[in-house]
Amino acid sequence: MIWWKEALIIAVFYSTYTMIRNQFGSTLVEGVSIPNHAFTNAIRVIRFERWIGLFHEETIQDWFLPHVWFIKTMNVYYGTAHFAVTLGVFIALYKLRPSVFGQWRNTLAVMTALAIIGFSLFPLMPPRLLDAPCPDAGFGAECIVSELRTRNGAENFGFVDTIKEFGGPWKFDSGIASKLTNQYAAMPSLHIGWATWCAFGLWPIARKLWMRLALLIYPAVTTLCIIVTGNHFWIDGVGGILAFAVAYFIGTSLHYWNQRRLLAQLTGSHPTTRD
């Protein structure tokens, strides 16, 4: 493996992913009002969570709102760790687990591709936007026509947009970030999917207790973060874990198929031959 080729592959893939993902963040796509669709899906999620008795995101956020230092920390964590830690683990896998690096690279790529399908088929308004006034960009729930809100039994949900209220690395409702991000790319949560990928990818080489504790804590803290900041429902995290599980199966299959293909080129046998 040549490191710059792997870096180039990831850069091209992520750029393509970002471009496709953001196509579904527009106000209108092929005659479908994305904010309306995203709001309706959010109501469906809330009804389901209430039905099973686990709609507690707003309560959890309320517990932490008085602790401004913690909220600001979570805002920074949400905007930076997702990329920095994943990149760090990617490099660590390349250097420390070269024999299975392709397997984990494939898993990350497939999981991200599956997320695009989720974002396009199920745009979801995050909790932080459910009570947000309608900005010029048209992301908040107040942009939804009154008849739709009434038909869905809309209410004041009590969520706070912590980045808007307390500050963070960037703002989603103004500036470049509002144009480059998909406000409704919430299901599945790639924050949780990628965090799970990081934990499982490094687990076999985490020999010390503190290392394994860190790997377990990272997805747990990320889960708390996405809820406290109002960026996701907890069920989005479940979606992220499911996306990881499916991607791991596909990514692993592709890896070992490629290994057999390379072996076949060396031995002259058929690529599906198993030793």
pLDDT surpasses 90 at 181:
no
Give 53-108 pLDDT, tens digit per residue.
999 999 999 999 999 999 999 999 998 998 899 999 999 999 999 999 999 999 99
More reliable by pLDDT, 13 or 68 = 68
How far apart are the C-alpha atoms of 27 and 38, rounded to whole Å? 10
- The H or E element that residue 28 is part of is strand 28-29
**Residue 39's pLDDT is what?**
86
Residues 6+ apart with CB under 8 A from 145: 36
Percent of the chain with pLDDT over 90: 53
Residues 6+ apart with CB under 8 A from 157: 46, 58, 127, 130, 131
**73 within domain boundaries:** yes
**85 within domain boundaries:** yes
For residue 67, the enclosing domain spans 57-267
Mean pLDDT calculated for residue range 33-50: 87
Q: Which of 6-20, 161-175, 230-244 has the lowest mean pLDDT?
A: 6-20
**6 within domain boundaries:** no
What confidence tier does 208 reach under pLDDT thresholds 50, 70, 90? very high
Give 123-155 pLDDT, tens digit per residue.
999 999 887 665 444 555 555 555 455 555 556
**236 within domain boundaries:** yes
**Residue 261's pLDDT is what?**
79
The answer to whether the CB of 111 falls within 8 A of the CB of 243 is yes
What confidence tier does 255 reach under pLDDT thresholds 50, 70, 90? confident
Residue among 75, 79, 58 at smallest CA distance from 130: 58
pLDDT surpasses 90 at 275:
no
- Count structural domains, the chain: 1
What confidence tier does 30 reach under pLDDT thresholds 50, 70, 90? very low
Mean pLDDT for all residues in the chain: 82
**36 within domain boundaries:** no
**27 within domain boundaries:** no
**35 within domain boundaries:** no
**222 within domain boundaries:** yes
**Residue 225's pLDDT is what?**
97
